[in-house]
């Protein structure tokens, strides 16, 4: 018995054999992983060595040195400093800039349109709801490449005119005094109607007065034979509505009030303009004369837009704008604190906007009133230079466009486009049709998916939340902005990030519309230099970096909107 016990203890104390380790599942997992890594490294090394030797035989060893050599790549949509004589590296940099331009504008546009269409998908209006549904279903189920072809070859190359066309046409036009008066009156009537017990009828009365005044005005001004009859008819109509406002039931008094406010206000405004003409404030008491110049030109060459130029006094104006923005932020925070502590609603948005507008106007005036030179050198027709008084040169328009930032009084100049005799742009900037087609295609295509995400997020909010908001007396817009969307964002943001990533990667289809983005410039660079491995590595780095940046931002935003739990 003692011998048996000693034998068992000897067996328990003996060192295990090597075969016993292979019965341990942990050891087997480690060994298999090591074998897999060795096989993977061996295969990759074999492929790398063979590719390297093959490229070395053709004198195409991967290197980044070719980026400093002349590229000779023409890029139509490029910065002013770029020419085909620039290096491959600078050409690739221009391609990256074009990709960022397309993706950044596409993200903003797709988000705005997608949210709007997503909300309209749940509209109570049958027509709006079904139009939005058709928009989503057609665009979601049509390949993006087909849509890009449509925007570029059908819209921009066929539908647009061959010669640049501008809206409005250049010249001088006049606006009747009744137009701004009626516009201000209808806005005032709409705002005042909300504070009454009959807002709808008061607004309808104002619109009725607007229609009547628009109809009788030509008879009053352009046809002297009917002026007396129309005047008597207007007085009778005003008298009838005046009696309604005093003796009719209360429900109808709003209609009369809106009509009288529009008609009487328009007539008084006309008298005010005549008074201005009498004292010399305006040249004509019947109309406002305005000089109208083309703001946009559009053709198969692209869309020509105004150029925004900061002047020498822009910094002074920017300081006032910054003060207004800072004050707006302070007012926004203080008003929010008052609302949270007292429950009293404060129109903090109105106060914030007013602070920015007021300081911007004050800064504009102070910046424009800064001291200016008494004379300006102006080059004559024969190459001579003469000194012209500042005010005279400013009014005559003799200051060259290149000298506008030095001598103009405005902090910011909006220079309307000007074309030469060959219909090429001289002043302003152009949106190439390739860029416009790509951006529109990305926006429209991605917005259809975002609309479905927004619809699903809104429907994920419990209906009891909406009923509670209505019970509290919140309007439809307040319910949407303060109750529904903040809760729906928790559902919307994660899939929204996926659509942003898809948009950034779909931008590589720009080659289909001949837009020089990162992918097209990269492939051209690889075809010319033969550095395919280096080129694809650069493309990989660019698109990977862009995707990672979008992912990081969306993860941060998603974390801010998630419910904080223990």
DSSP 168: S
Burial class, 22, CB count within 10 angstroms (exposed 0-12 / middle 13-18 / buried 19+): exposed
pLDDT in the model for residue 564: 60
Task: State the average pLDDT over residues 176-203.
Answer: 82
pLDDT in the model for residue 204: 86
396-435 confidence digits (pLDDT tens): 667 777 777 887 778 888 888 887 777 777 888 888 899 9
* Band of residue 364 on the pLDDT scale cut at 50, 70, 90: confident
Question: 260: Cβ–Cβ under 8 A, 6 or more apart, which residues?
Answer: 205, 209, 238, 241, 242, 245
Mean of all residue pLDDT scores within the chain: 84
The β-bridge relationship of strands 418-419 and 425-427 is antiparallel
Burial class, 296, CB count within 10 angstroms (exposed 0-12 / middle 13-18 / buried 19+): middle
Whole-angstrom Cα distance, residue 277 to residue 177?
12
Q: Tokens representing 158?
A: 């066929």
pLDDT in the model for residue 151: 93
User: Could you write out the DSSP letters of every residue in 395-441?
Assistant: HHT-S-GGGHHHH-SSSEEEEPPEE-TTS-EEESEEE-HHHHHHHHH
Task: State the average pLDDT over residues 118-147.
Answer: 92
Task: State the average pLDDT over residues 218-233.
Answer: 66
151-175 confidence digits (pLDDT tens): 999 998 888 888 788 766 667 777 7
- In order of 109, 411, 516, the CA distances from 105 in angstroms are 6, 26, 16
pTM for the model stands at 0.72
In the predicted model, is pLDDT for residue 274 greater than 70? yes
User: Per-domain residue ranges for the chain?
Assistant: 19-59, 92-164+431-561, 171-292, 307-415
Q: Tokens representing 410?
A: 């405005």
305-336 confidence digits (pLDDT tens): 888 888 888 998 999 999 999 999 999 899 88
Among 1-10, 41-50, 246-255, 425-434, the range scoring the smallest mean pLDDT is 1-10
Q: Which CATH class is domain 92-164+431-561?
A: mainly alpha
Whole-angstrom Cα distance, residue 381 to residue 164?
30
* Band of residue 3 on the pLDDT scale cut at 50, 70, 90: very low
> Would you call the peptide bond into 168 cis, given omega within 30 degrees of 0 as the criterion?
yes
Evaluated on CA atoms 189, 192, 196, 199, the torsion sign reads positive
Whole-angstrom Cα distance, residue 236 to residue 242?
10
* Band of residue 101 on the pLDDT scale cut at 50, 70, 90: very high
DSSP 227: H
In the predicted model, is pLDDT for residue 107 greater than 70? yes
CB 269 within 8 A of CB 209: no
Torsion from C-alpha of 92, 94, 96, 100, nearest 10 degrees: -170
496-545 confidence digits (pLDDT tens): 999 999 999 999 999 999 899 999 999 999 888 888 888 899 999 999 99
pLDDT in the model for residue 25: 80
- CA proximity to 148, closest of 518, 552, 510: 510
Among 48-52, 136-140, 435-439, 502-506, the range scoring the smallest mean pLDDT is 48-52
In the predicted model, is pLDDT for residue 395 greater than 80? no
């Amino acid at each position: 018995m003692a011998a048996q016990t000693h034998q068992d203890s000897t067996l328990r104390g003996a060192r295990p054999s090597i075969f016993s380790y292979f019965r341990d599942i942990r050891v087997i997992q480690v060994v298999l992983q090591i074998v897999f890594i060795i096989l993977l490294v061996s295969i990759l090394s074999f492929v790398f060595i063979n590719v390297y030797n093959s490229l070395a035989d053709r004198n195409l060893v991967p290197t980044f040195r070719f980026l400093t050599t002349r590229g000779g790549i023409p890029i139509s949509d490029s910065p002013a400093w770029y020419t085909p004589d620039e290096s491959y590296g600078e050409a690739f940099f221009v391609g990256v800039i074009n990709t960022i331009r397309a993706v950044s504008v596409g993200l903003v546009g797709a988000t705005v349109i997608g949210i709007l269409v997503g909300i309209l998908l749940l509209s109570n209006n049958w027509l709006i709801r079904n139009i939005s549904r058709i928009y989503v279903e057609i665009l979601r189920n049509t390949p993006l490449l087909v849509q890009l072809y449509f925007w570029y070859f059908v819209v921009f190359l066929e539908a647009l005119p061959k010669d640049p066309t501008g809206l409005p046409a250049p010249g001088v036009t006049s606006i009747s005094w009744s137009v701004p008066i009626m516009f201000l009156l209808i806005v005032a009537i709409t705002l005042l109607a909300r504070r009454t017990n009959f807002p709808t009828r008061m607004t309808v009365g104002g619109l009725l007065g607007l229609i009547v005044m628009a109809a009788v005005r030509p008879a009053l001004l352009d046809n002297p034979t009917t002026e007396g009859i129309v005047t008597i008819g207007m007085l009778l109509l005003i008298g009838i509505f005046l009696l309604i406002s005093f003796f009719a039931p209360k429900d109808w008094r709003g209609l009369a009030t809106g009509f009288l406010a529009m008609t009487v206000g328009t007539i008084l405004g006309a008298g005010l303009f005549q008074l201005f003409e009498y004292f010399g404030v305006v040249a004509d008491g019947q109309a406002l004369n305005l000089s109208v110049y083309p703001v946009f030109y559009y053709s198969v060459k692209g869309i020509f837009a105004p150029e925004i130029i900061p002047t020498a006094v822009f910094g002074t104006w920017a300081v006032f704008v910054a003060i207004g923005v800072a004050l707006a932020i302070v007012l926004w925070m203080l008003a929010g604190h008052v609302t949270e502590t007292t429950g009293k609603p404060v129109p903090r948005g109105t106060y914030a906007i007013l602070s920015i507008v007021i300081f911007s106007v004050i800064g504009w005036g102070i910046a424009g009133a800064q001291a200016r030179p008494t004379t300006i050198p102006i080059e004559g027709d024969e190459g001579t230079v003469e000194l012209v008084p500042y005010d005279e040169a400013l009014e005559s328009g003799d200051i060259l466009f290149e000298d506008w930032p030095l001598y103009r009084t405005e902090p910011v100049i909006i220079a309307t486009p000007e074309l030469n005799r060959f219909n090429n742009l001289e002043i302003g900037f152009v949106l190439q049709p390739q860029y416009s087609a790509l951006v529109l295609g990305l926006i429209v295509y991605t917005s259809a998916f975002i609309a479905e995400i927004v619809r699903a997020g809104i429907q994920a909010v419990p209906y009891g939340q909406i009923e509670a908001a209505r019970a509290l007396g919140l309007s439809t817009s307040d319910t949407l902005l303060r109750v529904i969307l903040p809760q729906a964002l928790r559902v919307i943001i994660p899939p929204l990030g996926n659509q942003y990533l898809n948009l950034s990667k779909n931008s590589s289809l720009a080659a289909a519309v001949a837009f020089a983005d990162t992918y097209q410039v990269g492939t051209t660079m690889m075809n010319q230099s033969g550095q395919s491995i280096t080129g694809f590595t650069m493309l990989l780095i660019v698109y990977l970096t862009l995707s990672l940046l979008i992912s990081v931002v969306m993860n941060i935003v998603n974390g801010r909107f998630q419910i904080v739990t223990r």
